Amino acid sequence: MPVIALGVSSSISVYKACEVLRGFQKAGWAVQPILTPNAARLVSPFLFSTLSGRRTIVETFDEDQEWSVAHVALAKEIDLLVVAPATANILAKFAHGVADDFLSTFYLAVRKPVLIAPAMNTAMWRHSQTCANVGRLRARGVEFVEPASGYLACGEEGEGRLADPALIVERGLEILRRGHSLSGRTVLITAGPTREYLDPIRYLSNRSSGRMGFALAAEAAARGARVILVCGPTPLDPPPGAELVRVVTAAEMAAAVRARFDDAEIVVMAAAVADFTFPAAAARKIKKSEMGESIALVPTVDILKEAGARKAGRYLVGFAAETEDLRRRALLKLKEKNLDLIVANDVSAEGIGFDSDFNKAVLLDTDGGEAETPVLSKSELSRIIWNHIESHAVPKS
Ligand code: CTP
């Protein structure tokens, strides 16, 4: 029987979790309630056991526990973890890997989609630490149902009230529906910058963080795809479920893509590949006196263009980083590189794009289709991109 785990932490809105539980049950799902010890002080676990027909889990070391290692066994059984309401404390624990009660330990064992509905006082929701924790979790593919009148950009108006239970249920069911939409498919994604070394100390690179490519990889994995992620140097945690191939230079990225291209049906190139490199990297540090007035550069291989030339039936997606004339230049790249879709973003805009959790894009496809997004988290944008790809790529026979 399909199961949803419902984590409940100690917000005053804890009573609304019963409605969330009921909503999932009405849609045909069994619900396993998990209360934090503090939530169990606000409301009796017995209420949730009665509603769900399953014994509510509160303690990690419970002698009555049916499972040998309960958090691991349950993590394998469920299709989705929903945490509603989620306090600032549970968000912080999830974001930092603290595992000191059943719910936070369980979160670390879960390899399925996670949906969080926070509820807290406005000042706490807007605190920069809470914002950072939410950003961290989003970057790992965790999804949020925003508090009722608040939005993630924490400077905006927001009360921090738990979202409407019906909305939480709707979002959970939507995640479950798309859960297997890419199963059986292999996707190849490039992410991050590349580094072109002049000598062992100096290199040429760019401001890309890898966040967009990582969000795309996390989303594809959550939809059941086999994900091959070729990424340049980035300090970010790799998304769970992706096969990670780490590279440094554009030439290494090109070789890694060539070697795995045949396996993939969908190829998404989000990497910010250096367009130029040095003719050769010196083995030792070049002295200032040896440097001369200019440094010679040679072009790197255009990995995406090469992919476009041998794409056969693959669905090929590129990105266009532009500072002016966004649409026209992106459309030129779409054509020149033989792509199916290009995601164009204006990298001159403040607070979005390079090295940010947020982005805003125009999706342009070969059929003349065009869709402009508002400023979104990179996880949200990646969902829009995958929705587009899924509705346009040839369905798997
Ligand atoms: N790309 C690539 N290999 C390169 C350069 C770019 O695969 N050597 C890919 C990027 O991953 C991206 C797309 O091409 O998906 C467009 O990258 P962008 O930097 O916007 O454009 P360029 O083709 O490099 O052209 P220009 O710098 O002149 O805008």
Final residue in a domain of this structure, among 178, 202, 223: 178
Q: Whose CA is nearest to atom 24 of ligand 1?
A: 275
Listed in sequence order, the DSSP H helices in the chain are 16-26, 39-42, 45-52, 70-77, 88-96, 102-109, 122-126, 128-139, 165-178, 211-222, 250-261, 303-309, 326-336, 378-392
Model pLDDT, residue 153: 39
Q: CATH code at 151?
A: 3.40.50.1950
- Same domain for 12 and 153? yes
Distance CA 227, CA 217 (A): 6
Distance CA 397, CA 149 (A): 44
Model pLDDT, residue 327: 94
Structure-token pair, residue 260: 């795995």
- Same domain for 170 and 193? no
Share of the chain above pLDDT 90, in %: 71
Q: Whose CA is nearest to atom 8 of ligand 1?
A: 302
Structure-token pair, residue 11: 């917000």
- Same domain for 248 and 146? no
- Same domain for 26 and 127? yes
> Residue range 266-286: average pLDDT?
96
Question: Pick the catalytic residue: 18, 131, 154, 231?
Answer: 154
Q: Give 205's DSSP letter.
A: -
336 CA to centre of ligand 1 in angstroms: 11
272 CA to centre of ligand 1 in angstroms: 7
Final residue in a domain of this structure, among 155, 178, 201: 178
Q: CATH code at 231?
A: 3.40.50.10300
- Same domain for 109 and 215? no
Q: Is residue 154 annotated as part of the catalytic site, yes or no?
A: yes
224's torsion region: left (phi>0), alpha (psi -120 to 50) or beta?
left
Distance CA 226, CA 220 (A): 8
- Same domain for 225 and 290? yes
Q: Whose CA is nearest to atom 28 of ligand 1?
A: 275
Ligand 1 within 6 A of CB of 188: no
> In sequence order, what are the residues at sequence separation of 6 or more whose Cβ sits closer than 8 angstroms to the Cβ of residue 20?
6, 82, 84, 117, 165, 168, 169
Ligand 1 within 6 A of CB of 300: yes
Ligand 1 within 6 A of CB of 162: no
Number of structural domains the chain divides into? 2
210's torsion region: left (phi>0), alpha (psi -120 to 50) or beta?
left
Distance CA 112, CA 179 (A): 9
- Same domain for 256 and 220? yes
Q: Give the pairing of strands 358-359 and 376-377.
A: antiparallel
308's torsion region: left (phi>0), alpha (psi -120 to 50) or beta?
alpha
Read out DSSP for 354-389? TTSSEE--EEEETTS-EEE--SEEHHHHHHHHHHHH
- Same domain for 151 and 130? yes
Overall pTM surpassing 0.85 (yes/no): no
Domain that holds residue 253: 186-393
Distance CA 227, CA 221 (A): 6
302 CA to centre of ligand 1 in angstroms: 7
Question: Lowest-confidence range among 55-69, 261-275, 334-348?
Answer: 55-69
- Same domain for 80 and 192? no
* Cβ pair 264, 208 in contact under 8 A: no
Model pLDDT, residue 154: 44
Distance CA 304, CA 317 (A): 9
> Residue range 125-154: average pLDDT?
82
Across the chain, what does the average pLDDT equal? 91
Where residue 157 falls among pLDDT bands split at 50, 70, 90?
low
Location of structure tokens 């069994």: 30
Ligand 1 within 6 A of CB of 354: no
> Is the predicted pLDDT of residue 355 greater than 90, yes or no?
no
> Residue range 368-391: average pLDDT?
91
Final residue in a domain of this structure, among 146, 178, 210: 178
> Is the predicted pLDDT of residue 16 greater than 60, yes or no?
yes
> Residue range 338-352: average pLDDT?
89
Distance CA 287, CA 304 (A): 36
* Cβ pair 85, 162 in contact under 8 A: yes
Q: Give 155's DSSP letter.
A: T
- Same domain for 207 and 171? no
Share of the chain above pLDDT 70, in %: 94
Q: Each residue of 279-316: pLDDT tens digit?
A: 999 999 999 999 888 999 999 999 999 999 999 999 99
- Same domain for 161 and 53? yes
Distance CA 210, CA 146 (A): 25
- Same domain for 160 and 246? no
328 CA to centre of ligand 1 in angstroms: 15
